[in-house]
Structure 1
Amino acid sequence: MAELPDLTVFAQILGRRFKGQVLETLEVSVAKKINVNGKELKRTLEGRTLESIKREGKTLQLNFSGDQVLGLHLMLRGELVLINQDAPPKFQILGFHFKGGNAFALIDLQKQAKPTLNPTKLEAPDALDLKESDFIALLAKKRSLIKTLLMDQHLIRGIGNSYSDEILYHAGISPFSISKSIPEKQVKKLYKSIHTVLTQAITEIARENSDELTGELRDFMRIHNPQLQETAKGEAIMVETLGGRKTYFTKGQAHFG
Protein backbone atom coordinates (compact mmCIF):
# COMPACT_ATOMS: atom_id res chain seq x y z
CA MET A 1 0.00 0.00 0.00
CA ALA A 2 1.30 3.43 -0.93
CA GLU A 3 2.17 5.51 2.14
CA LEU A 4 3.06 9.14 2.78
CA PRO A 5 6.49 9.21 1.06
CA ASP A 6 5.31 7.40 -2.08
CA LEU A 7 2.23 9.59 -2.42
CA THR A 8 4.20 12.77 -1.85
CA VAL A 9 6.47 11.90 -4.77
CA PHE A 10 3.53 10.82 -6.95
CA ALA A 11 1.93 14.22 -6.34
CA GLN A 12 5.16 15.98 -7.30
CA ILE A 13 5.49 13.98 -10.53
CA LEU A 14 1.85 14.49 -11.54
CA GLY A 15 2.19 18.19 -10.79
CA ARG A 16 5.21 18.56 -13.04
CA ARG A 17 3.56 16.61 -15.86
CA PHE A 18 -0.07 17.75 -15.73
CA LYS A 19 -0.51 20.93 -13.70
CA GLY A 20 -2.22 23.67 -15.69
CA GLN A 21 -3.64 21.31 -18.32
CA VAL A 22 -7.31 20.96 -19.22
CA LEU A 23 -8.98 17.59 -18.64
CA GLU A 24 -10.55 16.83 -22.01
CA THR A 25 -11.88 13.34 -21.34
CA LEU A 26 -12.33 11.34 -18.16
CA GLU A 27 -12.76 7.64 -18.81
CA VAL A 28 -14.70 5.94 -16.04
CA SER A 29 -13.98 2.22 -16.41
CA VAL A 30 -14.98 1.07 -12.93
CA ALA A 31 -17.44 3.21 -10.98
CA LYS A 32 -18.43 1.02 -8.02
CA LYS A 33 -16.10 2.73 -5.52
CA ILE A 34 -16.85 6.33 -6.57
CA ASN A 35 -19.13 8.34 -4.28
CA VAL A 36 -21.08 9.65 -7.29
CA ASN A 37 -22.13 7.97 -10.54
CA GLY A 38 -19.74 7.97 -13.47
CA LYS A 39 -21.77 10.38 -15.58
CA GLU A 40 -21.81 12.97 -12.80
CA LEU A 41 -18.06 12.64 -12.28
CA LYS A 42 -17.41 13.18 -15.99
CA ARG A 43 -19.82 16.11 -16.16
CA THR A 44 -18.21 17.75 -13.12
CA LEU A 45 -14.55 17.44 -14.12
CA GLU A 46 -14.32 17.41 -17.92
CA GLY A 47 -13.27 20.75 -19.33
CA ARG A 48 -11.69 21.91 -16.08
CA THR A 49 -8.06 22.84 -15.50
CA LEU A 50 -5.97 20.73 -13.13
CA GLU A 51 -4.66 23.47 -10.86
CA SER A 52 -2.64 21.41 -8.36
CA ILE A 53 -2.03 17.93 -6.99
CA LYS A 54 -1.55 17.49 -3.26
CA ARG A 55 -1.19 14.66 -0.81
CA GLU A 56 -3.58 14.44 2.13
CA GLY A 57 -2.65 11.60 4.46
CA LYS A 58 -2.85 8.44 2.35
CA THR A 59 -4.75 10.05 -0.51
CA LEU A 60 -3.92 12.20 -3.49
CA GLN A 61 -6.11 15.20 -4.16
CA LEU A 62 -6.48 16.53 -7.69
CA ASN A 63 -7.63 20.14 -7.43
CA PHE A 64 -9.49 21.34 -10.50
CA SER A 65 -10.75 24.79 -11.41
CA GLY A 66 -14.14 25.72 -10.00
CA ASP A 67 -13.15 24.38 -6.56
CA GLN A 68 -13.69 20.78 -7.62
CA VAL A 69 -11.51 18.16 -5.93
CA LEU A 70 -11.04 14.50 -6.76
CA GLY A 71 -9.49 12.40 -4.02
CA LEU A 72 -7.71 9.17 -5.00
CA HIS A 73 -7.06 6.47 -2.42
CA LEU A 74 -4.96 3.72 -3.99
CA MET A 75 -5.92 1.17 -1.32
CA LEU A 76 -3.77 -1.99 -1.25
CA ARG A 77 -2.85 -2.54 -4.91
CA GLY A 78 -3.84 0.62 -6.78
CA GLU A 79 -1.30 2.33 -9.04
CA LEU A 80 -0.92 5.43 -11.17
CA VAL A 81 0.47 4.88 -14.67
CA LEU A 82 1.18 7.09 -17.64
CA ILE A 83 -0.84 6.35 -20.78
CA ASN A 84 1.34 6.36 -23.86
CA GLN A 85 -1.11 4.86 -26.34
CA ASP A 86 -4.78 5.04 -27.30
CA ALA A 87 -5.77 1.76 -25.66
CA PRO A 88 -6.47 1.99 -21.91
CA PRO A 89 -4.07 0.09 -19.63
CA LYS A 90 -5.14 -3.16 -18.00
CA PHE A 91 -7.26 -2.90 -14.85
CA GLN A 92 -8.09 0.77 -15.42
CA ILE A 93 -10.40 2.46 -12.91
CA LEU A 94 -10.14 6.01 -14.28
CA GLY A 95 -8.33 7.42 -17.31
CA PHE A 96 -7.41 11.12 -17.35
CA HIS A 97 -6.89 12.49 -20.88
CA PHE A 98 -5.78 16.11 -21.21
CA LYS A 99 -5.83 18.46 -24.18
CA GLY A 100 -2.59 18.01 -26.10
CA GLY A 101 -2.50 14.24 -25.64
CA ASN A 102 -1.00 13.76 -22.18
CA ALA A 103 -2.76 11.15 -20.07
CA PHE A 104 -2.50 8.99 -16.98
CA ALA A 105 -4.65 6.33 -15.36
CA LEU A 106 -5.60 4.95 -11.98
CA ILE A 107 -5.43 1.15 -12.20
CA ASP A 108 -6.13 -1.62 -9.72
CA LEU A 109 -6.22 -5.38 -10.28
CA GLN A 110 -8.46 -5.77 -7.22
CA LYS A 111 -10.76 -2.88 -8.26
CA GLN A 112 -10.60 -1.46 -4.73
CA ALA A 113 -8.97 1.92 -5.45
CA LYS A 114 -11.35 4.62 -4.25
CA PRO A 115 -11.98 7.91 -6.10
CA THR A 116 -14.00 10.48 -4.13
CA LEU A 117 -15.44 13.69 -5.56
CA ASN A 118 -15.02 16.60 -3.14
CA PRO A 119 -13.90 14.50 -0.13
CA THR A 120 -14.62 15.65 3.40
CA LYS A 121 -11.71 17.30 5.18
CA LEU A 122 -10.40 14.97 7.88
CA GLU A 123 -9.58 16.27 11.34
CA ALA A 124 -6.62 14.01 12.17
CA PRO A 125 -3.27 15.76 11.59
CA ASP A 126 -0.91 14.71 8.85
CA ALA A 127 2.17 12.92 10.16
CA LEU A 128 4.45 15.72 8.93
CA ASP A 129 2.24 18.46 10.39
CA LEU A 130 1.75 16.94 13.83
CA LYS A 131 3.03 19.08 16.70
CA GLU A 132 5.34 17.51 19.25
CA SER A 133 3.17 18.61 22.19
CA ASP A 134 0.07 17.07 20.59
CA PHE A 135 1.97 13.83 19.92
CA ILE A 136 3.09 13.61 23.54
CA ALA A 137 -0.47 14.24 24.74
CA LEU A 138 -1.88 11.65 22.33
CA LEU A 139 0.42 8.84 23.48
CA ALA A 140 -0.10 9.69 27.15
CA LYS A 141 -3.79 8.75 26.97
CA LYS A 142 -3.66 5.68 24.71
CA ARG A 143 -3.24 2.08 25.86
CA SER A 144 -2.95 0.73 22.31
CA LEU A 145 0.26 -0.74 20.94
CA ILE A 146 2.46 2.02 19.57
CA LYS A 147 2.57 0.50 16.08
CA THR A 148 -1.23 0.31 16.00
CA LEU A 149 -1.43 3.95 17.06
CA LEU A 150 0.99 5.14 14.40
CA MET A 151 -1.08 3.44 11.69
CA ASP A 152 -4.47 4.69 12.93
CA GLN A 153 -5.56 7.20 10.27
CA HIS A 154 -8.14 8.64 12.68
CA LEU A 155 -5.26 9.78 14.90
CA ILE A 156 -2.32 10.42 12.53
CA ARG A 157 -2.61 10.41 8.75
CA GLY A 158 -0.08 9.01 6.31
CA ILE A 159 1.83 6.24 8.11
CA GLY A 160 1.15 2.60 7.23
CA ASN A 161 2.59 -0.80 8.00
CA SER A 162 5.99 -0.39 6.31
CA TYR A 163 6.94 3.02 7.61
CA SER A 164 5.67 2.39 11.13
CA ASP A 165 8.30 -0.37 11.36
CA GLU A 166 10.99 1.90 9.93
CA ILE A 167 10.11 4.73 12.32
CA LEU A 168 10.05 2.51 15.40
CA TYR A 169 13.36 0.90 14.49
CA HIS A 170 14.92 4.33 13.98
CA ALA A 171 13.65 5.39 17.41
CA GLY A 172 14.73 2.12 19.06
CA ILE A 173 11.22 1.36 20.36
CA SER A 174 9.47 -2.01 20.15
CA PRO A 175 6.29 -2.05 18.06
CA PHE A 176 4.66 -3.96 20.92
CA SER A 177 5.15 -1.16 23.48
CA ILE A 178 2.07 0.30 25.12
CA SER A 179 1.76 3.90 23.96
CA LYS A 180 1.10 5.51 27.35
CA SER A 181 3.95 3.56 28.97
CA ILE A 182 6.64 5.06 26.75
CA PRO A 183 8.64 7.67 28.72
CA GLU A 184 8.35 11.24 27.45
CA LYS A 185 12.04 11.35 26.54
CA GLN A 186 11.50 8.37 24.23
CA VAL A 187 8.28 9.86 22.87
CA LYS A 188 10.22 12.95 21.82
CA LYS A 189 12.78 10.74 20.12
CA LEU A 190 9.98 8.90 18.33
CA TYR A 191 8.49 12.19 17.18
CA LYS A 192 11.82 13.17 15.61
CA SER A 193 12.12 9.75 14.00
CA ILE A 194 8.75 10.22 12.27
CA HIS A 195 10.03 13.33 10.51
CA THR A 196 13.50 11.96 9.81
CA VAL A 197 12.37 8.65 8.33
CA LEU A 198 9.55 10.09 6.23
CA THR A 199 11.52 13.03 4.81
CA GLN A 200 14.53 10.85 4.00
CA ALA A 201 12.23 8.38 2.24
CA ILE A 202 10.67 11.16 0.17
CA THR A 203 14.15 12.23 -0.94
CA GLU A 204 15.17 8.66 -1.80
CA ILE A 205 11.99 7.87 -3.74
CA ALA A 206 12.10 11.17 -5.63
CA ARG A 207 15.69 10.44 -6.66
CA GLU A 208 14.82 6.96 -7.91
CA ASN A 209 11.55 7.84 -9.65
CA SER A 210 12.74 11.01 -11.37
CA ASP A 211 9.72 11.94 -13.52
CA GLU A 212 8.34 8.42 -13.93
CA LEU A 213 5.50 6.81 -12.02
CA THR A 214 7.39 3.60 -11.24
CA GLY A 215 5.32 2.54 -8.24
CA GLU A 216 6.24 2.08 -4.60
CA LEU A 217 9.90 1.73 -3.64
CA ARG A 218 11.02 -0.26 -0.59
CA ASP A 219 14.55 -1.44 -1.40
CA PHE A 220 16.18 1.26 0.74
CA MET A 221 14.29 0.30 3.90
CA ARG A 222 16.45 -0.62 6.86
CA ILE A 223 14.21 -3.22 8.50
CA HIS A 224 10.83 -3.66 6.75
CA ASN A 225 12.35 -5.63 3.92
CA PRO A 226 11.67 -9.35 3.41
CA GLN A 227 14.99 -9.69 1.60
CA LEU A 228 16.94 -8.84 4.75
CA GLN A 229 17.69 -11.23 7.58
CA GLU A 230 19.69 -8.75 9.61
CA THR A 231 20.14 -5.00 9.84
CA ALA A 232 23.19 -3.08 8.68
CA LYS A 233 24.33 -3.24 12.32
CA GLY A 234 24.19 -7.04 12.27
CA GLU A 235 20.99 -7.30 14.35
CA ALA A 236 18.74 -10.26 13.58
CA ILE A 237 15.43 -9.11 12.10
CA MET A 238 12.39 -10.68 13.74
CA VAL A 239 9.02 -11.01 12.00
CA GLU A 240 5.64 -11.37 13.71
CA THR A 241 2.07 -10.77 12.61
CA LEU A 242 0.23 -7.86 14.19
CA GLY A 243 -3.32 -7.10 13.14
CA GLY A 244 -2.94 -9.33 10.09
CA ARG A 245 0.18 -7.50 8.91
CA LYS A 246 3.82 -8.56 9.08
CA THR A 247 5.81 -6.56 11.60
CA TYR A 248 9.61 -6.34 11.36
CA PHE A 249 11.69 -5.50 14.44
CA THR A 250 14.78 -6.41 16.45
CA LYS A 251 15.14 -7.68 20.01
CA GLY A 252 17.20 -4.59 20.79
CA GLN A 253 14.25 -2.23 20.41
CA ALA A 254 13.15 -1.14 23.90
CA HIS A 255 9.82 -2.54 25.10
CA PHE A 256 7.64 -0.39 27.36
CA GLY A 257 4.53 -1.58 29.18
Structure 2
Amino acid sequence: MPELPEVEALSVFLRDHAVGSVVGRIDVAALSALQTADPPITALQGRDITGSRRFGKFLTVDSGDLTMVTHLSRGGWLRWVDEPSPTPPKLGRGPLALRIHLFAPDATTPAIDLTEAGTRKRLAVWVVHDPRDVPGVARLGPDALDITVDDLAALLHGNTSRLKTVLVDQRVLAGIGNAYSDEILHTAQLSPFATAGRLTDDESAALHAAIRSVLTDAVARSVGQGAARLKAEKRSGLRVHARTGLPCPVCGDTVRQVEYTDRSFQYCPTCQTGGRILADRKLSRLLK
Protein backbone atom coordinates (compact mmCIF):
# COMPACT_ATOMS: atom_id res chain seq x y z
CA MET A 1 0.00 0.00 0.00
CA PRO A 2 1.37 3.46 -0.87
CA GLU A 3 2.05 5.42 2.31
CA LEU A 4 3.11 8.99 3.05
CA PRO A 5 6.53 8.89 1.31
CA GLU A 6 5.24 7.28 -1.89
CA VAL A 7 2.14 9.48 -2.09
CA GLU A 8 4.30 12.56 -1.48
CA ALA A 9 6.61 11.44 -4.30
CA LEU A 10 3.65 10.85 -6.62
CA SER A 11 2.34 14.33 -5.80
CA VAL A 12 5.72 15.90 -6.62
CA PHE A 13 5.87 13.82 -9.82
CA LEU A 14 2.47 15.11 -10.94
CA ARG A 15 3.44 18.70 -10.15
CA ASP A 16 6.57 18.27 -12.28
CA HIS A 17 4.96 16.40 -15.18
CA ALA A 18 1.23 17.12 -15.32
CA VAL A 19 0.76 20.74 -14.23
CA GLY A 20 -0.03 22.90 -17.24
CA SER A 21 -1.55 20.02 -19.18
CA VAL A 22 -5.17 20.06 -20.32
CA VAL A 23 -7.37 17.12 -19.37
CA GLY A 24 -8.68 15.28 -22.40
CA ARG A 25 -10.82 12.17 -22.53
CA ILE A 26 -11.30 10.27 -19.27
CA ASP A 27 -11.76 6.53 -19.57
CA VAL A 28 -13.49 4.80 -16.67
CA ALA A 29 -12.68 1.09 -16.60
CA ALA A 30 -13.96 0.33 -13.09
CA LEU A 31 -17.23 1.99 -12.09
CA SER A 32 -16.66 0.84 -8.49
CA ALA A 33 -13.79 3.32 -8.20
CA LEU A 34 -16.07 6.36 -8.60
CA GLN A 35 -17.33 7.55 -5.24
CA THR A 36 -19.07 10.75 -6.37
CA ALA A 37 -21.45 11.58 -9.23
CA ASP A 38 -21.92 15.34 -8.85
CA PRO A 39 -19.73 16.87 -10.20
CA PRO A 40 -19.21 14.00 -12.66
CA ILE A 41 -15.71 12.81 -13.51
CA THR A 42 -16.21 14.26 -17.00
CA ALA A 43 -16.39 17.77 -15.47
CA LEU A 44 -12.58 17.69 -15.43
CA GLN A 45 -12.35 17.39 -19.22
CA GLY A 46 -11.03 20.51 -20.93
CA ARG A 47 -9.60 21.92 -17.70
CA ASP A 48 -5.98 22.79 -16.94
CA ILE A 49 -4.20 20.80 -14.24
CA THR A 50 -3.04 23.37 -11.71
CA GLY A 51 -1.46 21.29 -8.97
CA SER A 52 -1.30 18.14 -6.88
CA ARG A 53 -1.38 17.73 -3.10
CA ARG A 54 -1.16 15.05 -0.45
CA PHE A 55 -3.53 14.64 2.49
CA GLY A 56 -2.22 11.74 4.54
CA LYS A 57 -2.35 8.87 2.04
CA PHE A 58 -4.84 10.67 -0.23
CA LEU A 59 -3.56 12.18 -3.49
CA THR A 60 -5.14 15.03 -5.43
CA VAL A 61 -5.11 16.27 -8.99
CA ASP A 62 -6.18 19.91 -8.83
CA SER A 63 -7.95 21.79 -11.59
CA GLY A 64 -9.08 25.23 -10.50
CA ASP A 65 -12.15 24.93 -8.31
CA LEU A 66 -12.43 21.17 -8.90
CA THR A 67 -10.22 18.51 -7.36
CA MET A 68 -9.94 14.83 -8.09
CA VAL A 69 -9.03 12.98 -4.90
CA THR A 70 -7.86 9.39 -4.97
CA HIS A 71 -6.98 6.82 -2.35
CA LEU A 72 -4.93 4.03 -3.88
CA SER A 73 -5.68 1.61 -1.04
CA ARG A 74 -3.77 -1.66 -0.75
CA GLY A 75 -3.40 -2.70 -4.39
CA GLY A 76 -3.66 0.62 -6.21
CA TRP A 77 -1.03 2.57 -8.06
CA LEU A 78 -0.55 5.56 -10.35
CA ARG A 79 1.23 5.10 -13.67
CA TRP A 80 2.45 7.73 -16.11
CA VAL A 81 1.95 6.52 -19.69
CA ASP A 82 3.86 8.37 -22.41
CA GLU A 83 1.93 6.81 -25.31
CA PRO A 84 -1.47 5.55 -24.15
CA SER A 85 -3.68 3.50 -26.40
CA PRO A 86 -6.29 5.64 -28.17
CA THR A 87 -8.80 2.79 -27.85
CA PRO A 88 -11.01 3.09 -24.75
CA PRO A 89 -10.49 0.18 -22.34
CA LYS A 90 -13.20 -2.40 -21.81
CA LEU A 91 -15.20 -1.92 -18.64
CA GLY A 92 -14.13 -4.24 -15.83
CA ARG A 93 -11.23 -5.82 -17.72
CA GLY A 94 -7.74 -5.92 -16.22
CA PRO A 95 -6.14 -3.78 -13.52
CA LEU A 96 -6.94 -0.39 -15.08
CA ALA A 97 -9.48 1.61 -13.07
CA LEU A 98 -9.23 5.07 -14.64
CA ARG A 99 -7.24 6.71 -17.44
CA ILE A 100 -6.90 10.48 -17.79
CA HIS A 101 -5.66 11.51 -21.23
CA LEU A 102 -3.65 14.75 -21.29
CA PHE A 103 -2.63 17.39 -23.78
CA ALA A 104 0.78 18.49 -22.48
CA PRO A 105 2.41 21.88 -23.11
CA ASP A 106 5.14 20.18 -25.20
CA ALA A 107 2.48 18.88 -27.64
CA THR A 108 2.72 15.29 -26.37
CA THR A 109 -0.35 13.31 -25.29
CA PRO A 110 0.50 11.24 -22.19
CA ALA A 111 -1.97 9.79 -19.72
CA ILE A 112 -2.34 9.20 -16.00
CA ASP A 113 -3.46 5.66 -15.23
CA LEU A 114 -4.91 4.55 -11.91
CA THR A 115 -4.57 0.79 -11.60
CA GLU A 116 -5.40 -1.79 -8.96
CA ALA A 117 -4.05 -5.31 -8.60
CA GLY A 118 -6.03 -8.16 -7.09
CA THR A 119 -9.71 -8.93 -6.87
CA ARG A 120 -10.60 -6.78 -3.84
CA LYS A 121 -11.29 -3.44 -5.50
CA ARG A 122 -10.81 -0.63 -2.98
CA LEU A 123 -9.20 2.12 -5.05
CA ALA A 124 -11.46 5.17 -4.77
CA VAL A 125 -11.85 8.41 -6.71
CA TRP A 126 -13.84 11.50 -5.77
CA VAL A 127 -14.43 14.75 -7.70
CA VAL A 128 -15.10 17.57 -5.23
CA HIS A 129 -14.78 21.31 -4.78
CA ASP A 130 -12.80 20.90 -1.55
CA PRO A 131 -10.72 17.81 -0.62
CA ARG A 132 -12.22 17.97 2.86
CA ASP A 133 -15.57 17.09 1.31
CA VAL A 134 -14.17 13.54 1.14
CA PRO A 135 -15.11 11.88 4.47
CA GLY A 136 -11.76 10.13 4.83
CA VAL A 137 -9.85 13.38 4.37
CA ALA A 138 -12.13 15.21 6.81
CA ARG A 139 -11.40 12.59 9.51
CA LEU A 140 -7.62 12.72 9.17
CA GLY A 141 -5.52 13.48 12.21
CA PRO A 142 -2.44 15.72 12.00
CA ASP A 143 0.10 14.83 9.35
CA ALA A 144 2.86 12.56 10.62
CA LEU A 145 5.55 14.92 9.33
CA ASP A 146 4.01 18.01 10.92
CA ILE A 147 3.44 16.80 14.47
CA THR A 148 5.68 18.01 17.31
CA VAL A 149 7.00 15.83 20.11
CA ASP A 150 4.63 17.51 22.60
CA ASP A 151 1.64 17.06 20.28
CA LEU A 152 2.51 13.39 19.86
CA ALA A 153 2.70 12.88 23.61
CA ALA A 154 -0.71 14.54 23.97
CA LEU A 155 -2.20 12.27 21.28
CA LEU A 156 -0.87 9.17 23.02
CA HIS A 157 -1.88 10.23 26.52
CA GLY A 158 -4.61 8.01 27.91
CA ASN A 159 -4.80 5.87 24.77
CA THR A 160 -5.20 2.23 25.79
CA SER A 161 -4.64 0.76 22.31
CA ARG A 162 -1.51 -1.00 21.19
CA LEU A 163 1.14 1.28 19.73
CA LYS A 164 1.05 -0.45 16.34
CA THR A 165 -2.73 0.10 16.15
CA VAL A 166 -2.42 3.78 17.02
CA LEU A 167 0.31 4.49 14.46
CA VAL A 168 -1.79 3.17 11.56
CA ASP A 169 -5.01 4.87 12.69
CA GLN A 170 -5.39 7.75 10.22
CA ARG A 171 -7.75 9.55 12.60
CA VAL A 172 -4.90 9.83 15.10
CA LEU A 173 -1.94 10.44 12.79
CA ALA A 174 -2.15 10.75 9.01
CA GLY A 175 0.13 9.06 6.52
CA ILE A 176 1.64 6.04 8.28
CA GLY A 177 0.64 2.55 7.19
CA ASN A 178 1.65 -1.01 7.94
CA ALA A 179 5.15 -0.94 6.46
CA TYR A 180 6.45 2.33 7.87
CA SER A 181 4.90 1.72 11.28
CA ASP A 182 7.02 -1.45 11.48
CA GLU A 183 10.11 0.55 10.51
CA ILE A 184 9.33 3.36 12.95
CA LEU A 185 8.80 1.01 15.88
CA HIS A 186 12.02 -0.85 15.07
CA THR A 187 13.99 2.40 14.87
CA ALA A 188 12.47 3.62 18.17
CA GLN A 189 13.11 0.17 19.76
CA LEU A 190 9.51 -0.10 20.91
CA SER A 191 7.22 -3.11 20.98
CA PRO A 192 4.24 -3.07 18.60
CA PHE A 193 2.17 -4.38 21.52
CA ALA A 194 3.18 -1.59 23.92
CA THR A 195 0.24 0.39 25.30
CA ALA A 196 0.33 3.79 23.62
CA GLY A 197 -0.72 5.77 26.69
CA ARG A 198 1.95 4.20 28.92
CA LEU A 199 5.03 5.40 27.06
CA THR A 200 7.54 7.32 29.16
CA ASP A 201 8.64 10.79 28.10
CA ASP A 202 11.86 9.31 26.74
CA GLU A 203 9.96 6.67 24.77
CA SER A 204 7.61 9.29 23.32
CA ALA A 205 10.61 11.37 22.28
CA ALA A 206 12.25 8.31 20.69
CA LEU A 207 9.03 7.53 18.81
CA HIS A 208 8.77 11.10 17.52
CA ALA A 209 12.40 11.05 16.39
CA ALA A 210 11.83 7.73 14.62
CA ILE A 211 8.73 9.02 12.83
CA ARG A 212 10.70 12.00 11.58
CA SER A 213 13.81 10.08 10.56
CA VAL A 214 12.10 7.12 8.89
CA LEU A 215 9.61 9.20 6.91
CA THR A 216 11.96 12.02 5.90
CA ASP A 217 14.55 9.46 4.74
CA ALA A 218 11.91 7.60 2.74
CA VAL A 219 10.62 10.85 1.18
CA ALA A 220 14.18 11.85 0.24
CA ARG A 221 14.73 8.47 -1.44
CA SER A 222 11.36 8.52 -3.20
CA VAL A 223 11.00 12.07 -4.52
CA GLY A 224 12.56 12.32 -7.96
CA GLN A 225 12.03 8.66 -8.76
CA GLY A 226 9.74 7.82 -11.62
CA ALA A 227 6.36 6.51 -10.55
CA ALA A 228 7.30 3.06 -11.88
CA ARG A 229 10.31 2.79 -9.53
CA LEU A 230 8.70 3.87 -6.28
CA LYS A 231 7.63 0.40 -5.16
CA ALA A 232 11.14 -0.99 -5.57
CA GLU A 233 12.60 2.05 -3.82
CA LYS A 234 10.29 1.50 -0.86
CA ARG A 235 11.27 -2.16 -0.54
CA SER A 236 14.98 -1.36 -0.72
CA GLY A 237 14.82 0.82 2.39
CA LEU A 238 12.94 -1.58 4.68
CA ARG A 239 14.83 -3.17 7.60
CA VAL A 240 12.16 -5.36 9.22
CA HIS A 241 8.89 -5.07 7.32
CA ALA A 242 8.36 -8.00 4.90
CA ARG A 243 11.66 -9.52 6.08
CA THR A 244 10.31 -12.38 8.20
CA GLY A 245 13.00 -14.99 8.89
CA LEU A 246 15.88 -12.76 7.80
CA PRO A 247 18.50 -11.36 10.21
CA CYS A 248 17.85 -7.97 11.75
CA PRO A 249 20.38 -5.56 10.20
CA VAL A 250 20.98 -3.98 13.62
CA CYS A 251 21.47 -6.94 15.98
CA GLY A 252 21.37 -10.06 13.81
CA ASP A 253 18.38 -11.65 15.55
CA THR A 254 15.72 -13.28 13.37
CA VAL A 255 12.94 -10.95 12.28
CA ARG A 256 9.61 -12.33 13.51
CA GLN A 257 6.06 -11.94 12.29
CA VAL A 258 2.61 -11.57 13.81
CA GLU A 259 -0.03 -12.64 11.32
CA TYR A 260 -3.74 -11.88 11.25
CA THR A 261 -6.42 -12.93 8.78
CA ASP A 262 -5.60 -10.38 6.08
CA ARG A 263 -2.42 -8.66 7.24
CA SER A 264 0.79 -9.15 9.15
CA PHE A 265 3.56 -7.13 10.71
CA GLN A 266 7.21 -7.75 11.50
CA TYR A 267 9.51 -6.87 14.40
CA CYS A 268 12.86 -7.78 15.97
CA PRO A 269 12.60 -9.42 19.42
CA THR A 270 16.06 -8.29 20.56
CA CYS A 271 15.66 -4.67 19.44
CA GLN A 272 12.04 -4.19 20.42
CA THR A 273 10.66 -6.65 22.98
CA GLY A 274 13.58 -7.61 25.19
CA GLY A 275 13.81 -10.96 23.41
CA ARG A 276 10.17 -11.88 24.00
CA ILE A 277 8.27 -13.47 21.08
CA LEU A 278 4.91 -11.79 20.59
CA ALA A 279 1.74 -13.88 20.48
CA ASP A 280 0.67 -14.71 16.95
CA ARG A 281 -3.06 -15.45 16.98
CA LYS A 282 -3.08 -17.25 13.63
CA LEU A 283 -0.13 -19.47 14.56
CA SER A 284 -1.65 -20.17 17.97
CA ARG A 285 -4.86 -21.46 16.35
CA LEU A 286 -2.87 -23.76 14.05
CA LEU A 287 -1.04 -25.27 17.00
CA LYS A 288 -4.22 -26.17 18.91
Q: Under a length normalisation based on structure 2, what TM-score does the superposition of the two structures give?
A: 0.81
Query: Using a 3 Å threshold, how does the CA distance of structure 1 residues 160 and 88 change in structure 2: closer, same or farther?
Result: farther
Question: Which of 96, 99, 109 is the equivalent residue of 1:92?
Answer: 96
| Corresponding residue for residue 34 of structure 2 | 34
Q: How many residues align?
A: 252
Q: Does 1:114 align with 2:124?
A: yes
- 5+ residue gaps, structure 2, are 275-288
Distance 1:154 1:225, change over 3 A: same
**Mapping of residues 138-153 of structure 1, within 5 Å:** 138-153=155-170
Residue of structure 1 equivalent to 2:281: none
CA contact (8 A) 1:78 1:107 kept: yes
Q: Which amino acid aligns with 1:56?
A: F
Alignment of 1:33-72 (within 5 A): 33-37=33-37, 40-42=40-42, 44-65=43-64, 67-72=65-70
Cα root mean square deviation, aligned: 2.2
Q: How does 1:6-45 map to 2 (within 5 A)?
A: 6-37=6-37, 40-42=40-42, 44-45=43-44
Displacement, 1:93? 1.2
Q: Secondary structure at 2:53's aligned position in 1?
A: strand
Segment of structure 1 superposing worse, 232-241 or 190-199: 232-241
Q: 1:185 is matched with which residue?
A: 202
| 1:168-212 CA distance string (max 9 Å, x none) | 0000101110011110111011011101000101122236x2x34
Cα distance in 2 for partners of 1:237, 1:167 equals: 15
Gapped runs of 5+ residues in structure 1? none
Structure 1 residue 166 displacement after superposition: 0.1
Q: Is the 8 A contact 2:242 2:265 kept in 1?
A: no
* TM-score, length basis structure 1: 0.90
Determine if contact 1:7/1:60 at 8 Å carries over to the other structure. yes
2:211 aligned residue: 194
Stretch of structure 1 that moved more, 230-239 or 114-123: 114-123
Deviation at 1:252, TM superposition (A): 2.5
Deviation at 1:33, TM superposition (A): 3.0
Deviation for aligned residue 1:92: 1.6
CA distance in 2, matches of 1:72, 1:82: 15
Q: Report what 2:286 is aligned to.
A: none
Q: Which residue pairs with 2:279 in the alignment? A: none
